[in-house]
A and B are shown apart, each in its own frame.
Chain A
Amino acid sequence: MGKFLLLAFRNIFRNRRRTVMTLIMVGGGVAGLLLAGGYFAFMTHGLRESTINNGLGHLQIFTADHFRRDETRVLDTGINNWRQVAASVTSAEHVRGVAPRIDFYGMVSNGTKAAGFMGSAVDPVAENSLGFISRVVSGRDLDPKPAGEVEALIGVGLAKSMNVKVGDGLTILAMTSDGALNGVDVEIVGLVDHGVAELDSRYVRITLPAAQRLLQSDRVTNLVVGLDSTDNTDRVYDELIPRLRGLPQEMALKKWIDLATYYKQVSTMFNGIFLFMGVIVFFMVLMASVNTLLMSMMERTREIGTMLAMGTPRMWIVALFMLEATLLGVMGAVAGVAVGNLLGVLLNSSGLHMPPPPGYTVNIAFKVLHVPVQMIGASVLVVVSLAIASILPAMRASRLQIAEALAHV
């Protein structure tokens, strides 16, 4: 086996120029896949963390009825004894804190113009302790205990459409849990920019006590749980499920991935693009390698005839060609992984930025993550591609008529 491997290895370097060209092609394919995959991984990783840190949290607790709620009376299905629930969750390992929320909907008016809004009522102290980013671009964040009027943060798009600025007033209207329409005057203390135009054109944030007064309920719609690391999500989820059983209200625990619809869409899209690129690289390597390996086979016709004449089993010839192609694939994959990672390091240190994607308003850093699974996957892809490419030349070589092969010029 050792000699056979040695023969295959030496055969690879018979025609060095052709081998180098093949290695460039295979390595280039692997490096290209790693760069694209690394960029996609950076994008999805960044999107995941920003989605979580923008307020989604790692886990969220709702009542089981929450997902059958009437959106005009959101607290009808809210959590009653949310402080007790929060306390039972906070004691779990890896939990950094719990932030109560009320997500509500209504109308906002500046006196001459009205628009629909998506409201989020928060406890600023709890939000800050979890590191949720308020994304205030003008003015300041909400005061946990304001002295005067109800404070509000609104999206930059909403401020523009309502023609208001920091320090101006607005009236927000929402349905109470009794079904009555209630309103409250708020002072705009800051503008927020999530980078998502659709959200920023409808976003209003007030404090939890203000929302509870507006909606005339001391319930909350959900509890947002922040963890020390996203990687612990599944572990904590499994730990919290038993704790939420046996409470007066039936509870539902959701992971961030179940609530991050946009993240899932983007992730699916990137995975699709990466898969498509993988298919292209696979066929590119396959087609080019078949030709190269056939040329190699033709050049060695007499040698193959000699080996067959000496009683070498035909399957050995098949194995030899497949081994050579596989070795070539392994070398190309190693070179590709090395080059791909090196280029990734260079790109990461270059400070490049990409223009904002659709729906976003900020540039995105161009960075490439080094993902071991992608390195293994891309390597396996090209090795398999080359092994498959070698089947035709290997079969042809093994089927040579010995006398004809020995007379080959």
Chain B
Amino acid sequence: MNELDELVRVEAVCRRFPLDHSYVNALDGVNLGVAAGEFLAIAGPSGSGKSTLLNLIGCIDKPTSGRILIEGVDTSKLNANRITALRREKIGFVFQTFNLIPVFTAAENVEFPLLVQGLSARERRSRVAAALESVGLSARANHRPDLLSGGERQRVAVARAIVHRPALVLADEPTANLDTHNATQLIDLMHDLNRRLGLTFIFSTHDARLLEHTDRIVRLTDGEVVSDTLTARTPIEGGSHGQVLASRV
């Protein structure tokens, strides 16, 4: 994969957090390239650095060293306003705990990113309707989150993440709070959106159900990439299914 084709490029990224009088390395020299349209899982046990890596790619945290490029732009060189604008326009987020605004209806929650972008009411309405339709929740548009099931809430969160047509959707443990049925539905939905709309999904998980549906799995242990694997689901140009592309990129 050519660097210029990459949507996301992570270069020698370290993230260190202070702990008492010492510090802990959440990520240690991570390198990663993600092409547009990929459906990529970051797997690993708790504390391996999955969420930290997603936060850094999502520009809601800054690396201690190294750099992250989104569509070729070095995010470390952007000021706060441009970082905010980049998140607003290029990235959609799905959180483990859904993080919907409880006083808004499903439709209003989905509308929020468009509101922040300053789109017209008419444009917002049509996009919200399309996003809710794509996650199969048109009938629940006017329900508040407390009247939705966990699976429905997470689908609303997915609709909110894709409604502004981002280049990249980041999902942090999206199935962790869902039962098997809802988790499977959500995985299928995300995969369908990936295939149908060409949306790039990067999500962290240690859910085996989700990993079974994933094209590429990057495994982290103690803040380091230990493997980067294309799964049997993905036809790989010039290689066999299940081939390990790189244990350290």
Contacts and interface: CB of A to CB of B under 8 A. Distances in A.
Interface of A: 3-4, 6-7, 10-11, 14, 302-303, 305-314, 316, 401-403, 406
A7 B112 CA distance: 10
A332 B33 CA distance: 56
B183 to A, nearest CB: 21
B115 A4 contact: yes
Contact of B60 (A3, A4, A11, A406): A406
A3 B119 CA distance: 13
Contacts of B88: 310-312
A279 to B, nearest CB: 35
Contacts of B84: 308, 311-314
12 contacts: A6-B108, A302-B97, A305-B99, A306-B93, A306-B101, A307-B101, A309-B58, A311-B117, A312-B88, A313-B81, A314-B84, A406-B60
Nearest to B157: A306
Nearest to B54: A403
B60 A403 contact: yes
Interface in B83-114: 84-89, 91, 93, 95, 97, 99, 101-104, 108, 111-113
Nearest to B90: A311
Main secondary structure of the interface of A (DSSP, over half): helix
B55 A316 contact: no
B207 interface: no
A407 to B, nearest CB: 8
A10 B115 CA distance: 17
A401 B62 CA distance: 11
Nearest to B85: A311
A117 to B, nearest CB: 76
Contacts of B104: 7, 10
Interface residues of B, number: 28
Contacts of B97: 302
A3 to B, nearest CB: 5
A298 to B, nearest CB: 16
Contacts of A316: 116
Nearest to A306: B99
Given A311-B85, A311-B89, A7 B101 contact: yes
Contacts of A307: 101, 112
Interface of B: 55, 58, 60-61, 81, 84-89, 91, 93, 95, 97, 99, 101-104, 108, 111-113, 115-117, 160
Contacts of B103: 7, 10-11, 14
Given A3-B115, A406-B60, A309 B101 contact: no
A403 B85 contact: no
Nearest to A4: B115
A308 B111 CA distance: 15
Interface centre among A11, A306, A308 (most CB of B within 10 A): A306
A102 B97 CA distance: 89
A310 B112 contact: yes
Nearest to A10: B103
Given A306-B99, A309-B93, A3 B116 contact: no
B203 to A, nearest CB: 15
A311 B116 contact: yes
Contacts of B112: 3, 307, 310
Given A306-B99, A310-B88, A311-B113, 11 more contacts: A14-B102, A303-B102, A306-B93, A307-B112, A310-B87, A310-B93, A313-B84, A313-B116, A403-B60, A406-B60, A406-B99
Contacts of A306: 93, 95, 99, 101
Contacts of A314: 84
A114 B106 CA distance: 93
Nearest to A8: B103
Contacts of B160: 310
B59 to A, nearest CB: 9
Contacts of A312: 84, 88, 116
B113 A302 contact: no
B158 to A, nearest CB: 14
A241 to B, nearest CB: 61
Instruction: Specify which of A305, A313, A402, A406 lies most central, judged by the most chain B CB atoms within 10 Å of its CB.
Output: A406
A314 B85 CA distance: 12
A313 B103 CA distance: 20
A310 B101 CA distance: 12
A254 to B, nearest CB: 63
B65 to A, nearest CB: 17
B111 A310 contact: no
A302 B85 contact: no
A14 B58 CA distance: 30
B61 to A, nearest CB: 4
B115 A309 contact: no
Contacts of B58: 309
A11 B97 CA distance: 20
A311 B82 CA distance: 10
Contacts of B55: 402-403, 406
A375 to B, nearest CB: 31
A402 B51 CA distance: 13
A316 B108 CA distance: 17
Contacts of A302: 97, 99
Contact of A309 (B60, B81, B89, B102): B60
B160 to A, nearest CB: 8
Contacts of A401: 61
B133 to A, nearest CB: 21
Nearest to A311: B88
A299 to B, nearest CB: 11
Given A3-B111, A309-B58, A403-B60, A303 B99 contact: yes
Contacts of A6: 108
A133 to B, nearest CB: 62
Nearest to B81: A313
A302 B104 CA distance: 15
B115 A402 contact: no
Contacts of A4: 115
